[in-house]
Amino acid sequence: MSNPMILEPTQSADACVIWLHGLGADRYDFLPVAEALQTSLPGARFILPQAPTRPVTINGGYEMPSWYDIKAMTPARAIDSDQLDESADMVKGLIEVQVASGIPASRIFIAGFSQGGAVVYHTAFSRYAGTLGGVMALSTYAPGFHDGVQLSAAQKATPVLCLHGTRDEVVLHPMGRAAHDFLHAQGVQLQWHEYPMGHEVVIEEIRDIAAWLAQKLA
């Protein structure tokens, strides 16, 4: 994986947001969002990783930036679990670097859109053993959430902001809601916001994210 883009704050960094793009996009995809959020969070460092370019089975083997291969869409997404682990461990490594730099895990947030959101879910609730400042899950699902999975007390303490479009034609609304419901059943502190949109990001959503981050970092 190539080096992530890092947006340093105007003052000394006391928080960090790691934000993963979706399938076929790149690390520049959420740059305008990160820049906008940073204006109201002057102490937050933003890290925008880049997924490796590799063949994606459901797209006829065409190579594109992908956090993991998707082999089939139905009845549920069949994915390359090893690649999902690999991507989540990359995020875990970025978290550990920030902790080593002096930013506590309680002030580190991981966000992801679509496939990137699946990776941050997997990071926070499977691969990372501690408690984070929070997870922001945009238009996404959680392939690792299923019966028999039990979160640790530390993982359950990580709050989550779920954001989804009611007209999402790529990651269907019930898929996002199922991830929320799994975490709710485990006792995770959650907020759910939905919008009359498809598989996209709208300004109202960014405002809700900004408010949630400001409250968590207050």
Q: Convert the pLDDT of each residue in 133-176 to its tens digit.
A: 999 999 999 998 987 889 999 999 999 999 999 999 999 999 99
36-66 per-position pLDDT tens digit: 999 999 899 999 999 999 999 999 999 999 9
Residue 1: what pLDDT? Answer: 58
In Å, what is the CA distance from 80 to each residue of 19, 68, 72, 86?
A: 21, 6, 10, 10
Q: Which residues are catalytic?
A: 114, 168, 199
Q: Which residues pair with 113 in a beta bridge?
A: 138
Q: What CATH number does domain 5-52+89-217 carry, 3.40.50.300, 3.40.1280.10, 2.60.40.2300, 3.40.50.1820?
A: 3.40.50.1820
High-pLDDT (> 90) share of the chain, %: 90
Q: What is this structure's pTM?
A: 0.96
User: Smallest Cα–Cα separation from 121: which of 99, 137, 139?
Assistant: 137
Residue 96: what pLDDT? Answer: 97
Instruction: Over range 67-86, report the average pLDDT.
Output: 88
83 with 65: CB under 8 angstroms?
no
High-pLDDT (> 70) share of the chain, %: 98
